[in-house]
């Protein structure tokens, strides 16, 4: 019962969040330097042609009217047409966003596979050589910018060794995974360092807790203590941090897709910003914001499962 009411409350909280997202997207896009008419017609466009383009795009109306039209269009699923590509924005998002989602999911999985076992190694051997090596290695990945780390991996494993392609998306699901491995690894290294340090600290705190000492006194096997008592409780804070990092991961995907020439939503966003393509920028921002909001919701549900007190 507590979990069901918790889910309903969180879903209701999404309504004002989405409304706020619409307002922010609408305002920020209009604060971009330049205007779509000049981007379409060029710098030598005539005033009459500029007025005609603005009238066709509805930019000659007042801001409240523009926002009302914008909100109504989003509510009906009509995100308009791209100014440059002459295609429906919803169609572009449907084609590009799955690529970014797959890249983000791969990066998240790689980060978890790195962070969880190495956090246990560092926590159980704290103060020893293994702990120092793990923390030092992850510190290197954390200190490097995403674009620089991507260029290093691209140069070494793509250009010189030839183990992975230097760009593109490939054909077929397995080929997609092959092409996205290096970009996903680029994103995962910095995220895994953050998750590892947080989980290591949480594991150390849980190991010293009284209920873990009591479990040892009862004679429970160490593996059972680690899986049932230590890991479950230590993951609570790490899951919250992981959910908060998804937005950063998507932001990093914008840069990574540009470096590795991946035709995802991030690269489309960069091209649309440079081209002053209002409808595409608005549609992509809304889609990514909704995706992050749903990720936060899923994170809260996992936390409620790990710790039922969260749902109360």
Q: Which residues pair with 55 in a beta bridge?
A: none
Which of 75, 110, 136 delimits the end of a domain? 75
User: Distance from CA of residue 184 to its chain's centroid?
Assistant: 12
* 71 and 98 together in one domain: no
Of the chain, the percentage scoring pLDDT greater than 90 comes to: 0
SS3 content of the chain, % helix, strand, coil (to 5): 80, 0, 20
Predicted TM-score (pTM) of the model is 0.76
* 179 and 151 together in one domain: yes
DSSP summary character for residue 309: G
* 100 and 30 together in one domain: no
* 59 and 107 together in one domain: no
**Maximum CA extent, the chain:** 85
Q: Is residue 48 part of a domain?
A: yes
The range of the structural domain enclosing residue 221 comes to 89-311
What angle, 0 to 180 degrees and rounded to 10, lies between the N-to-C axes of helices 232-259 and 89-124?
Answer: 130
* 67 and 93 together in one domain: no
* 101 and 186 together in one domain: yes
Q: Which residues pair with 81 in a beta bridge?
A: 88
User: Which pLDDT does position 304 carry in this prediction?
Assistant: 72
Is residue 1 pLDDT above 60, yes or no?
A: no
Report d(CA 263, CA 244) in Å as an integer.
Answer: 25
Residue 128, C-beta contacts closer than 8 angstroms, at least 6 positions apart: none
User: Which pLDDT does position 218 carry in this prediction?
Assistant: 64
User: Which pLDDT does position 199 carry in this prediction?
Assistant: 81
Is residue 146 pLDDT above 80, yes or no?
A: no
Mean pLDDT of 145-151: 70
Mean pLDDT of 284-298: 81
Report d(CA 80, CA 86) in Å as an integer.
Answer: 10
Q: Is residue 55 part of a domain?
A: yes
Q: Which residue has the higher pLDDT, 183 or 277?
A: 183
Which of 26, 50, 75 delimits the end of a domain? 75
Q: Is residue 81 part of a domain?
A: no
User: Distance from CA of residue 39 to its chain's centroid?
Assistant: 29
Q: Is residue 84 part of a domain?
A: no
User: Mapped to the 3 state alphabet, what secondary structure does 148-185 carry?
Assistant: HHHHHHHHHHHHHCCCCCCCCCCCCHHHHHHHHHHHHH
Cα angle for residues 100, 103, 109 (degrees, 5° grid): 140
Q: How many helices (H) and strands (E) does the chain have?
A: 13, 0
Q: Is residue 83 part of a domain?
A: no
Mean pLDDT of 105-111: 87
* 178 and 100 together in one domain: yes
Report d(CA 38, CA 52) in Å as an integer.
Answer: 12
Q: How confident is the model at residue 292 (pLDDT cuts 50, 70, 90)?
A: confident
pLDDT digits (tens, 9 = 90+) for 154-203: 777 777 777 777 777 777 778 788 888 888 888 888 788 888 888 888 77
Q: Is residue 82 part of a domain?
A: no
* 71 and 206 together in one domain: no
Q: What is the CATH classification number for the domain harbouring 257?
A: 1.10.3720.10
Mean pLDDT of 137-156: 72
Helix (H, G, I), strand (E, B) or coil at 46: coil
Domain count, the chain: 2
pLDDT digits (tens, 9 = 90+) for 19-36: 888 888 777 766 666 666
User: Which pLDDT does position 176 carry in this prediction?
Assistant: 82
b/e string for 237-262 if b means 16 or more Cβ within 10 A? ebbbbbbebbbebbebbbbbbbbbeb
Measuring CA to CA, which residue among 308, 300, 310, 309 is closest to residue 17? 300
* 66 and 134 together in one domain: no
Report d(CA 4, CA 9) in Å as an integer.
Answer: 9
Measuring CA to CA, which residue among 265, 246, 262 is closest to residue 154? 262
Residue 137, C-beta contacts closer than 8 angstroms, at least 6 positions apart: none
* 101 and 131 together in one domain: yes
Which of 19, 44, 75 delimits the end of a domain? 75
* 209 and 107 together in one domain: yes
b/e string for 33-43 if b means 16 or more Cβ within 10 A? eebbbebbeee
Report d(CA 91, CA 77) in Å as an integer.
Answer: 11
Lookup: tokens for 252? 């990093």
Q: Is residue 116 part of a domain?
A: yes
* 152 and 177 together in one domain: yes
pLDDT digits (tens, 9 = 90+) for 47-70: 666 667 666 666 667 777 777 877
Instruction: Find the distance separating the first CA and the last CA of the chain, reported in whole Å.
Output: 10
Q: Is residue 119 part of a domain?
A: yes
């Amino acid at each position: 019962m507590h979990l069901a009411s918790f889910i309903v409350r969180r879903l209701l909280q999404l309504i004002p969040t989405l409304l706020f997202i619409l307002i922010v997207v609408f305002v920020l896009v209009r604060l971009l330097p330049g205007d779509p008419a000049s981007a379409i017609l060029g710098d030598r466009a005539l005033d009459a042609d500029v007025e005609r383009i603005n009238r066709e795009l509805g930019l000659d109306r007042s801001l409240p009217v523009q926002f009302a039209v914008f909100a109504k269009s989003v509510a009906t699923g009509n995100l308009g047409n791209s100014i440059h590509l002459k295609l429906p924005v919803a169609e572009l998002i449907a084609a590009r966003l799955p690529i970014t989602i797959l890249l983000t999911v791969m990066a998240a999985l790689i980060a978890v596979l790195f962070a969880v076992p190495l956090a246990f190694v560092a926590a159980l051997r704290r103060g020893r050589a293994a702990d120092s090596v793990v923390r030092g290695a992850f510190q290197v990945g954390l200190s490097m910018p995403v674009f620089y780390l991507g260029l290093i991996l691209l140069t070494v494993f793509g250009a010189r060794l030839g183990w992975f392609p230097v760009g593109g998306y490939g054909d077929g699901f397995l080929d997609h995974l092959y092409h996205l491995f290096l970009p996903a690894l680029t994103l995962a290294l910095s995220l895994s360092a953050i998750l590892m340090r947080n989980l290591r600290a949480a594991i150390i705190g849980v190991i010293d807790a009284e209920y873990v000492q009591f479990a040892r006194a009862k004679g429970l096997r160490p593996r059972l203590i680690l899986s049932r008592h230590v890991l479950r409780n230590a993951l609570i804070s790490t899951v919250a941090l992981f959910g908060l990092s998804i937005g950063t991961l998507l932001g990093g995907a914008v840069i990574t897709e540009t470096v590795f020439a991946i035709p995802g939503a991030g690269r489309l966003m960069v091209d649309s910003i440079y081209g002053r393509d209002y409808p595409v920028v608005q549609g992509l921002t809304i889609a990514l914001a909704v995706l992050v909001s749903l990720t936060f919701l899923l994170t809260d549900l996992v936390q409620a499962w790990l710790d039922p007190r969260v749902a109360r």
